[in-house]
Amino acid sequence: MSKIKVKTPLVELDGDEMTRIIWKEIKERFIYPYLDIELEYYDLGVEYRDKTDDQVTIDSAKAIQKHGVGVKCATITPNADRVKEFSLKKEWPSPNGTIRSILDGTVFRKPIIINNIPPAVKAWKKPIIIGRHAYGDLYKDVEMQIPGPGKVELVYTSAEGKEERVLVHDFKGSGVVMGQHNLDKSIESFAKSCFNYAISEKVPLWFATKDTISKKYHARFRAIFDAEAQKREAELKAAGIYYSYYLIDDAVAQIMKNEGGMLWALMNYDGDVQSDMVASGFGSLGLMTSVLVSPDGKYEYEAAHGTVTRHYRQYQKGETTSTNSVASIFAWTGALHKRGELDGNSELMDFAKRLEKAVIDTIESGEMTKDLIPLSTASNKKQLDTFQFMEAIQKRLG
Ligand code: NAP
Ligand code: MG
């Protein structure tokens, strides 16, 4: 069989611990034998990040900007323990945070649906993709405890020195107060990324806030989304999808009765809460993928889980591990499919779909890693270790 030629380099970001072990295995089993591809490699393993003073992370983000598509392995975000463990120069920032801020992107989380792994919510049949705005609101708030009677006001002083003020509350006794902000530019980037991803995945876009109550703050988010929807009307129509605004409480109620298959865009706090609800409703972290999409249409694919340190400790001791590689494999297929789409390479797109089908068929036939065993309704379940599972997929891929 001749290999499929890929004309544009794919940006590859290597990572840490158990996911780094799986990463190498994925390339050897599913990539090199089938594809004639140039992988532009960046080693984001924590030791090399430290060696380059984190320059490698910045370079990798720039490479994604240049080529358009990247695939990333999970990486350690160092804390004090990790600094000691690896003798690091300092607690380097999260690579995901660095890459997200360079690309000005939004992270979308999408579960992988498998027939014999039913979601906790019976109605759910298709993935519910969550897009969470990652700037401001509660996460950049200022707060004050009010000790006793007195007035709290919001004061805006323009650059020219003009003042505008509104009363927050005239306190008669003690209480609390909070100030939040967001930026049009950040909300616009978020909206653009959401429309990009919905159009790219051909799924309807839901956006939900509480604009009936928050007539300026939440209403601003809605206005920016509505304006973007108008601008993108022709693209939405061509993709056969719609954009719809909901009140957040209505959206939550609808989601529980809906079969899924939409992109649900949410403000920062709502996204934080609802993404955990949806993730646990769909089952295992090993089945959750993640993609970073920039407003100018650059894509970085990864698994939503971390480096699975606990399993890596077992691996280091030579013990058998049962780490689920599905989300990492789907990071590769997501990236390859997107690369194929951008290059007009249908053979590559078919290959990505074939690999995904091989993964799903393997699990649906009863062969799976330990985390899926209690979730699966298959009658003939067989627990495989990390490597046996990938071997089983490779056999199906042929
Ligand atoms: P984690 O790596 O996601 O693992 C937490 C636990 O979830 C594991 O111990 C395991 O449970 C289960 N799990 C996660 N992925 C699994 C898989 N593929 N197959 C089977 N089980 C899986 O989170 P963590 O242990 O809190 O973090 C480890 C490191 O990852 C940290 O250094 C953190 O900074 C980093 N991290 C990176 C990213 C990223 O790069 N995007 C995201 C999150 C965390 P059992 O042990 O019970 O089997
Ligand atoms: Mg959360």
Q: How far is CA 89 from the centre of its chain?
A: 29
Place of tokens 């007035």: 151
pLDDT for the residue numbered 284? 80
Pick the residue whose CA is nearest to atom 10 on ligand 1: 308
Nearest to 338 by CA among 302, 299, 304: 299
CA distance 305 to 284: 10
Nearest atom, ligand 1, residue 302 CA = 41
Give pLDDT, residue 163: 97
Query: From the CB of 74, is ligand 1 less than 6 Å away?
Result: yes
| Closest Cα to atom 36 of ligand 1 | 306
Against a cut of 0.85, is the pTM above it?
Answer: yes
List the structure tokens of 320: 């058998």
Name residues whose C-beta falls within 8 Å of residue 316's C-beta, 6 or more positions apart in sequence. Answer: none
Q: How far is the CA of 95 from the centre of ligand 1 (A)?
A: 16
Among 26, 285, 291, name the best residue to mutate to test ligand 1's pocket (greatest count of ligand atoms within 8 A of Cβ). Answer: 285
pLDDT at 181: 97
Alpha helix ranges (H) inside 292-345: 309-316, 326-343
280 CA from centroid of ligand 1 (Å): 15
Residues near ion ligand 2 (Cβ under 5 Å): 272, 276
Cβ burial 193-212 (10 Å sphere, 16+ → b, else e)? bbbbbbbbbebbbbbbbbbe
Residue 323 CB less than 6 A away from ligand 1: yes
pLDDT of residue 92: 95
Taking the CA of 18 as reference, the closest ligand is 1
* Residue 9 beta carbon below 6 angstroms from any ligand 1 atom: no
Closest CA to 43 of 61, 62, 24, 56: 56
Report the chain (398 residues): mean pLDDT per 10 consecutive residues: 94 98 98 98 98 98 98 96 97 92 90 92 94 90 97 98 97 98 96 95 97 97 98 97 97 95 96 88 88 92 95 98 97 98 97 98 96 92 98 95
The response to whether residue 214 sits with its C-beta less than 6 Å from ligand 1 reads: no
Q: Where are the domains of the chain?
A: 1-117+284-398, 118-139+182-282, 142-179
List the CATH code of the domain at 1-117+284-398: 3.40.718.10
Compute the distance from residue 269 Cα to the ligand 2 centre, in Å: 8
pLDDT at 104: 85
Please give the class, per CATH, of domain 118-139+182-282.
Answer: alpha beta
Contacts of 393 (CB under 8 A, 6+ apart): 29, 30, 329, 355, 358, 359, 362
Q: What pLDDT score was predicted for residue 139?
A: 86
Ligand 2 centroid, distance to 272 Cα (angstroms): 4
Sheet holding 299-303, edge to edge: 39-43, 10-14, 69-72, 299-303, 288-293, 106-111, 129-132, 263-266, 205-209, 243-247
Which atom of ligand 1 sits closest to the CA of residue 72? 40
Cα of 37 vs centre of ligand 2, distance in Å, is: 37
Q: Report which bound ligand comes closest to the CA of 325.
A: 1
